[in-house]
Amino acid sequence: MKLTRLITRRFGKERAALYDAELEHLLKKGYSEKEIGTLLETQAFPIGIFDILSMLTRSTLSVKDLEKSLFFLFNRHTIIRETLSKLLKPKSRILDVGCGRGLVACSLALEGFEVHGVDVSADAIKIGKKLAEKLDCKPIFYLIKENKLPFPNEYFDAAVCVWTLHEVAKSKCQSY
């Protein structure tokens, strides 16, 4: 509960709900809440410190610029929602390709868009559905196989693909 409040203050209700949904998913898979709590309490802070120092060293960014980058990294769903809200009509249909755990899809659905999220990970889809339930929004999630989308051509007004392409094995890509 303490972490949920901290995450809400720093990153918003969507991120906090995602934390809760992921925790619930892990507990259903048999992980111990106490062990997860201990892991987070003992490892998250020092790992975060080392990662941030490494980012500064490798990137040569200023502290201010790294803060801006981290803000985008953890709040991209908000920025994407705000941007698409300016560009699209209310209730537009959006496809979230590689939706993962549903953070972008849910954020867009909260804005009133009709969102369809597709992913190849059954666990990610389960977490996305739990996130939608926690946020009381209605994106539609699909588990896809063999990269076949269940939609007719020109069905969507827009498509987003966020933090997805790096997950595709080079051997799975077709060259044109």
What domains can be seen in the chain, in order of their start residue? 2-172 (3.40.50)
Q: What is the distance between the alpha carbons of residues 130 and 17, in angstroms, rounded to a whole number?
A: 9
Question: What does each of the 176 residues of the chain score in pLDDT, given as a tens digit?
Answer: 678 898 999 888 999 999 999 999 999 999 999 999 999 989 998 999 999 999 999 999 999 999 999 988 889 999 999 999 999 999 999 999 999 999 999 999 999 999 999 999 999 999 999 999 999 999 999 999 877 888 999 999 999 999 787 667 777 666 54
Q: Which residues of 32-68 are buried (b: 16+ CB within 10 A; e: fewer)?
A: eeeeeeeeeeeeeeeeeeeeeeeeeeeeeeeeeeeee
Query: How far, rounded to the nearest angstrom, does the alpha carbon of residue 111 sit from its chain's CA centroid?
Result: 16
| Residue of 68, 75, 132, 71 lying closest to 102 (CA atoms) | 132
